[in-house]
Structure 1
Amino acid sequence: MDRRRFLRTLLSGATVAALGPALLRGGEALAGDPAEFAAGLRERPYLAGWRQVAAEAFGPTTVQLEGRLPADFAGTLYRNGPAWFERDGFRYEHWFDGDGMVHGWHFGNGAVTHRGRMVQTPKFQREQRAGRFNTPAAGTTIAEPVAIRNNDDANTANTSVVTIGGRLFALYEGGSAFELDPDELATLEPTTWRPDLQALPFSAHPLRDRDGSWWNFGALSLMGGGGLLLWHIGADARLIDAHVHALDAPGYLHAFAQTDRYLVFLMTPFDRTAGGSFFESMAFAPQRPCTALVIDKTAPDRVMRRFEVDFAAIYHFGDAFERGSELIVRAAHHDDVEHARSPHRAAMFGHAGAASPAQLAELRLDLRTGRARWHMLGVPGMEFPLFDARTAGDSGARLYMPATVGEASAPYFNAVQMIDAAADLRTVHRYGRDILVEEHVFVPRPGSTRPDDGWLVGTLLDPTRDRSGIAVLDAQRIGDGPLATAWLPYAFPLGFHGHFAQAAA
């Protein structure tokens, strides 16, 4: 059998498994109450971060910048996140279930123009017509769900966004990338990279290689099947190749890391219980170790090395680099497995909840000895670490991430920080007691090759004034605060991840 036919056969079997036990499960609906959430919101304004949007679309809205941007800062910050949580007296109980809304913040001529659009997936359109949630969800049991044909019938396109080859894609863990118009944000279609790969998972955290190509994965085990699908996409947004790697046991995987030579995947062990949606039936297994897979980029059709390391619940990775025989991978390390399984569950119900952010850790994998271990870096209260990808591959990068600093009125971030672990250096800008701070994306200065020469751009939520905003900071002078900020006359819920598309010079 030729390799492509083998891949098609293997994937078709995995797809059948994916659509069987995990997604096509019905049962009694157990979810939040919109009235209960509304009552909680009146007492705790910060819950606006988990409030449903008021409309399917916002803007275009142009607002003036407070402050001044550098002349060479230009482009669009795209953001994505769950935004539609309620229908017909039924509210999702898991944050990851909300349908995705993509935002475009375009900088130009001293102003910012914002536009937001719900991604018009088949799921969203079908439920708009029905007036109720009728599609199996990742974290909430839905009563009397409709039958679905493939993963994209349940795709919420709600997690991340990326531009490849000038094309804009909304991303989700369990299905296709949905292509959007980069200017209007209108939904075009789900992307089929090759006919035999239609509707298979193209996850939410692709990584750009130094040659301009992109790596990504699809975790088939998350949907009830088996195997890890590895994607390699060219800079022109065309498929280079795809491979499937068998897994001995299910492992949760949301993101991955890369060095100049290797891809690193960390599988967090979990068990399945009977009944409920995927996250309801998933129980992390801290009594078992995680499995780390290392794949050589020059031989992506096989796993080069497998490691076992002490349990950790990981959603997001920062940088990774090679030091001698070791691979060093920075990660946001969660100790509270229940909070990791359902982040901010209390907020989804309109209740007060404690913050449970991660701490920064290094996963150290020794390719010579086979030893794997965690090294804690002593940086608590963080998540969503990002960095300048121009950093040399033999040393650690400076990491930029939201943080909680001083008094905060919400169990969420209120500051942004830079961590240079090698130099034991930390700089912080605290936005304020009541401001909710999202991921800040690094934007390199055009024409510069010096690592960390550039800016941070990140979004904010001010629930006391019911407005969303954006800020731009000098990455090397974070403590000085924003160079420029802009606030919209409306607010929308917290999102997950963004991508900055720089304007052509």
Structure 2
Amino acid sequence: MDRRRFLRNLLSGATVAALGPTLLHGSDALAGDPAEFAAGLRERPYLAGWRQVSAEAFGPTTVQLEGRLPADFAGTLYRNGPAWFERDGFRYEHWFDGDGMVHGWRFGGGTVTHRGRMVQTPKFQRERRAGRFNTPAAGTTIPEPAAIRNNDDASTANTSVVIIGGRLFALSEAGSAFELDPDQLDTIGPMTWRPNLQALPFSAHPLRDRDGSWWNFGSLSMMGGAGLLLWHIGADATLRGAHVLETDAPGYLHAFVQTDQHLVFLLTPFDYTPGGAFFESMRFAPQRACTAVVVDKAAPDRIARRFEVDFTIAYHFGDAFERNGEIVVRTMRHADVSEARSPHRAAMLGHEGAAAPADLAELRLDMRSGGARWAKTGIGGVEFPMLDPRAPSDRSARLYMPTNAGDASAPYFNAVQMVDLATGRHALHRYGRDILAEEHVFVPRPGSSRPDDGWLVGTLFDHARDRSGIAVLDAQHVDDGPLATTWLPYAFPLGFHGHFAQAAA
């Protein structure tokens, strides 16, 4: 099927049954060894951050807070990440392959109640019954995989989580959002926004617009095509629109960014030679330029402008703003091409490996001249940027990111910092030598419209005591450390992304 026909037929539903996603094709098995990982874990306790969970469910467990929260801080932090890595003597070697576990950390009355549940995807249930991995994975080739019908049959639902219209969704890259009960975290099932959109990609990084609606994309590179499926979801979780945007060639992207007027997508070129799972078969192509695609929100059915810019690999974005005809995008740039293709591969195998965080860079797109260029910020050793969504649209926002600071016993983040590029101000809190710090979500103060008036809430892993925890900091005074922390009597693996749902006033 040629590319134009692929795109023309996509929204009619004609392509879904005929074309399985690229990441679902595999051949010879290449996997990690659980015994090798266990041996590495005995020597390097921090590897528990990539250890399989001990159960399919945790909690509800209520623990007392150390410190004190403001009276108006209330709600639930939902988190998602890969947690099931091993079956029948076979261990995934790629971090992205683990089946997803969603966590809910509910704050109230001076306590935190934690609950964690494996997302009961068709894949997870089928493999539990079989007692082995039998579904094609994104980064590890599986021997004798079972036949599957579509993306949702292979989904791990392991990357992010979001509340839209009061409904909780677990998200990954290649298939549908999976709806969960927001209280018990029980899995309801894949979300079909419209019958002819069943099982099409709905990525892990939707963006909330100022009117309360949500934008998202699906990468057609995951289905053997080229282009983007652009989603627009209302604040009430109903579909506003779905459009196919044609790009010149396949490009990898994990997230995107928005201004008040535009959406910006950065496609990283890659070559694909079938010979295993998707990430085993693809190679990023640094000899070619990236393509930046800009879409006007008022005309989401077409691309407003395309740019070519020097090659980079960017999984995550910070803020974006527009001024004098220029769009400025803050992104995390990865210099190590191999590490970017399989992050923390050494840890997944039970080996010691160096940390490979990203640098914060600016992508400048001139909408009048068509010029595009990168600019360095001098900020390195960071990832997972977050910001206050109330930030002004015509200037840079403060970014909040985990980072590395001082002595550390693990090749992972051990601190959180605030960076304000407009003023040059930095603030940092270091959790400690043995604490692994994850993404810190920004929570606006209720009733306030002042940017950056609010809190950061982030999850932690103490590998020396084998426990998981959570901390809340004042976003205006990050360097003062947490207002409150708490630790659970158990631990679970490091996750990826979260969403804070504030309690109703």
TM range (shorter): over 0.9
User: What displacement does 1:190 show?
Assistant: 0.4
The alignment partner of 1:416 has SS state of strand
Aligned to 1:315: 315
Q: How does 1:341-490 map to 2 (within 5 A)?
A: 341-490=341-490
The alignment partner of 1:152 has SS state of helix
For structure 1, list consecutive stretches of 5 or more residues without a partner in the other structure: none
Counterpart residue identity of residue 141, structure 1: T
| Structure 1 residues 271-326: Cα deviation after superposition (integer angstroms, max 9, x where no partner) | 00231100000100000000000000000000000000000000000000001110
| Structure 1 residues 18-75: Cα deviation after superposition (integer angstroms, max 9, x where no partner) | 51654133x2211000000000000001001100000000000000000000000000
Contact 1:307 1:372 in 2 (8 A): yes
Q: 2:401 & 2:272 partners in 1: Cα distance?
A: 33
Aligned to 1:23: 24
| Structure 1 residues 450-475: Cα deviation after superposition (integer angstroms, max 9, x where no partner) | 00000000000001101000000000
Q: 2:101 & 2:479 partners in 1: Cα distance?
A: 31
| Structure 1 residues 136-188: Cα deviation after superposition (integer angstroms, max 9, x where no partner) | 00000000000000000000000000000000000000000000000000000
**Cα gap change, 1:9 to 1:438, in 2 (>3 Å):** closer
Contact 1:24 1:147 in 2 (8 A): no
Contact 2:459 2:468 in 1 (8 A): yes
Q: 1:350 & 1:296 partners in 2: Cα distance?
A: 46
Aligned to 1:270: 270
Counterpart residue identity of residue 325, structure 1: G
Q: How does 1:201-350 map to 2 (within 5 A)?
A: 201-350=201-350
Q: 2:400 & 2:447 partners in 1: Cα distance?
A: 21
The alignment partner of 2:157 has SS state of coil
Contact 1:173 1:201 in 2 (8 A): yes
Computed over aligned residues only, the root mean square deviation of the Cα atoms, in angstroms, reads 1.2
- Runs of 4+ with deviation above 6 angstroms: none
The alignment partner of 1:46 has SS state of helix
Q: TM-score, normalised by structure 2?
A: 0.98
User: What displacement does 1:16 show?
Assistant: 4.9
Q: 1:347 & 1:73 partners in 2: Cα distance?
A: 36
**Cα gap change, 1:261 to 1:464, in 2 (>3 Å):** same
Q: 2:398 & 2:14 partners in 1: Cα distance?
A: 43
The alignment partner of 2:422 has SS state of coil
Q: 1:7 & 1:223 partners in 2: Cα distance?
A: 14
Aligned to 1:37: 37
Contact 2:101 2:117 in 1 (8 A): yes
For structure 2, list consecutive stretches of 5 or more residues without a partner in the other structure: 1-5
Q: 1:92 & 1:204 partners in 2: Cα distance?
A: 21
Q: TM-score, normalised by structure 1?
A: 0.98
User: What displacement does 1:224 show?
Assistant: 1.8
The alignment partner of 2:314 has SS state of strand
Q: 2:365 & 2:285 partners in 1: Cα distance?
A: 21
Q: Does 1:142 align with 2:175?
A: no
User: What displacement does 1:406 show?
Assistant: 0.8
Q: 2:249 & 2:389 partners in 1: Cα distance?
A: 32
**Cα gap change, 1:278 to 1:13, in 2 (>3 Å):** farther
Counterpart residue identity of residue 388, structure 2: D
User: What displacement does 1:246 show?
Assistant: 1.4
Q: 2:12 & 2:247 partners in 1: Cα distance?
A: 14
Counterpart residue identity of residue 39, structure 1: A
Aligned to 1:94: 94
The alignment partner of 1:483 has SS state of strand
Contact 1:158 1:172 in 2 (8 A): yes
Counterpart residue identity of residue 241, structure 1: G
Q: Does 1:67 align with 2:67?
A: yes
Tell me which moved more, 223-232 or 478-487. 223-232
Q: 1:82 & 1:11 partners in 2: Cα distance?
A: 33
Q: 2:440 & 2:394 partners in 1: Cα distance?
A: 24
Q: 2:403 & 2:134 partners in 1: Cα distance?
A: 37
The alignment partner of 2:35 has SS state of helix
Contact 1:7 1:243 in 2 (8 A): no
User: What displacement does 1:93 show?
Assistant: 0.4
User: What displacement does 1:9 show?
Assistant: 4.7
